[in-house]
Amino acid sequence: MVVTLGVVSSGKLGRALGALEGIQSGSAWTEVCKGTDAVLVEAESGSDLAALRASVGQGPALLLVAGHLEPGEGGELLLCPEPDTPPETVAAVSEFLQGAAEVEVVSPEQLTVAVAFQAAAPVLMNVALGGLKEGAVESGLPAETAQVFAQQTLLGTALLLEEEHASPAELKDQVASPAGTTIAGLAVLEEAAIRGSYIRSVLKSCLSLGQKG
């Protein structure tokens, strides 16, 4: 099945999708819905497909989309279609987008988690980054040097996880040697229950967004 796809390109992800060849993009519903089989809508806090359908009326299939996309570099996209969307339409949209990114079809509940995580995670990671920087400064590094080291270490870790398809636990086991400097630092984090605090903070963020939705 060949699908004619549109996107409401108001946010960053919407604009990235709108830049893909073969997608009709626009900032207004009327111009995007005309002549399309399906329309992608960037998921945000409180996004609701039933409410969107009620405001738009009859027309092309609506699919919420979340994730990230860098044109020419790839990305990860999550699709959440309306409950009555024909499976062949969902499959056609997924196939179209797979040329630009990894695509997964998820439930509304899973999409809510993804949106909450995407909103909260950068700030949560920034807290960790700030702590690493301050620890390096207190240990003797200049603040600017510590900032660069912390940022590059975080970036390098993310790239390593992606390249090796490893989990955080697997990477920890590879790096932390017995009685070494890394395991000494990890012991302090475990004593302070930092990992558990991050788990609870993500759960709280997801719960908060679910209540708003």
The answer to whether 110 and 79 have CB atoms below 8 angstroms apart is no
Angle at which helices 143-164 and 108-138 cross, to 10°: 140
Residue ranges matching CATH 1.10.3730.10 in the chain? 113-212
Q: Residue 29 is inside which H or E element, if any?
A: helix 29-33
* 55-80: pLDDT as tens digits: 878 889 999 998 888 877 888 999 99
Residue ranges matching CATH 3.40.50.720 in the chain? 5-106
Class of domain 113-212: mainly alpha
Class of domain 5-106: alpha beta
Total count of residues recorded for the chain: 213
What span, in angstroms and rounded, lies between the C-alpha atoms of 122 and 174? 25
Residues 6+ apart with CB under 8 A from 151: 129
* 1-36: pLDDT as tens digits: 778 888 886 788 888 888 888 888 877 777 787 888
* 74-129: pLDDT as tens digits: 889 999 999 889 999 999 999 999 988 999 999 988 888 888 888 888 899 999 99
The answer to whether 27 and 48 have CB atoms below 8 angstroms apart is no
